[in-house]
Structure 1
Amino acid sequence: MNAARPTHPQIALTLLDLKRAHQEARANADLYDDEEARDDLYDVEDAGTETLRLIIAVHGWPGHSLVGEAGADAAWWIAHHSEDRAFQRQALELLDSAVQAGEATRDRLAFLTDRVRVLAGRPQLYGTQFDLGEHGPRCFAVEDPEHLDTRRAEMGLSPFDAFDKLVRGFYSLPGPADSGGSTQ
């Protein structure tokens, strides 16, 4: 990764502002009962998607050299939470190329890969995506679960059991990782 100063710090600030706005809107949104807050969240997501789309059109994927590590992480965050599935698939391709060029991290590629696969109805590869059900978080189906931790390690991710525990801790819910087919 490039530790030098980014060439476009103003773009990094824009991306960081969009990520922060999304996090705030998400924290305020009760996605089940508050239609206005949910609409605000979707507006913030749409604004982030459109801004990132423009940045990509002019500069390509905003990697470490262009926007620094924090800016690149914010770009990933925006793509990961976009409601535009075609844009997410495009971002995934660009992020993959950025990882190959040393401009982005493998862990972010793993998360976006899983997100795109889950939203397409396919099993994920790295076990990063969870659904929050009545019994707490549950990992979406994983392809070839016997080799999950090997794939996770290749992407710089912790073993699945540790990640599952972290996710459960975030929601303060104890319980087994598998509540009915989590890695099938």
Structure 2
Amino acid sequence: MGKDSANASASAWVRRFAPLVPAGGAVLDLACGGGRHSRLFLDRGHPVTAIDQDVVQSTLATGAEVIAADLEGGAPWPLGERRFAGIVVTNYLWRPLFAAIRQTLAADGVLIYETFAAGNEAFGRPRNPAHLLRPGELLEQCAGLTIVAYEDGSTGTAVIQRICAVNGPGPVAVNPAPGR
């Protein structure tokens, strides 16, 4: 997969706010799946740590630190005291990780989070409330961070919540072009 096609497969929300992650800052791709966001940030010159339960090395771009970890199995947080300038989470929700995500976000770090929300049952999977954000839940979890952008609603094919938040006062000027 070429650089352009890899970046095109990344979420439009993540592409939109990726420029806010400080240049050269380390990025955590949490529950990375096939690594589409890992590739995006590697192409942008960031060191990337990609974590998932079933990591397939060949699907991730060369250069990412890959960690296979069961994030839901009760094992200790695999990153210890490490901090990241950017954390990306898409299509994944395990509520007990919110505290670890907040602790892992560096000062002035950027959190980009996008996943399914209550109401998605009308469109298909996931349907289980354990895997669907409650109304306003991402805002609650990001209390104390500077909210750059937030959306909660239907896309016509799913119900999702999205947030971009900064661990600090936030960027002076934010005008990233919508990536939709």
TM > 0.5 fold call: no
Give the number of the structure whose alpha-carbon radius of gyration is greater: 1
Structure with bigger RCO (C-alpha 8 Å, 6+ apart): 2
- TM-score range (shorter-chain normalised) is 0.3 to 0.5
Q: Provide the TM-score with structure 1 as the length reference.
A: 0.33
Q: Provide the TM-score with structure 2 as the length reference.
A: 0.33
- The structure carrying a bigger helix percent of its residues is 1
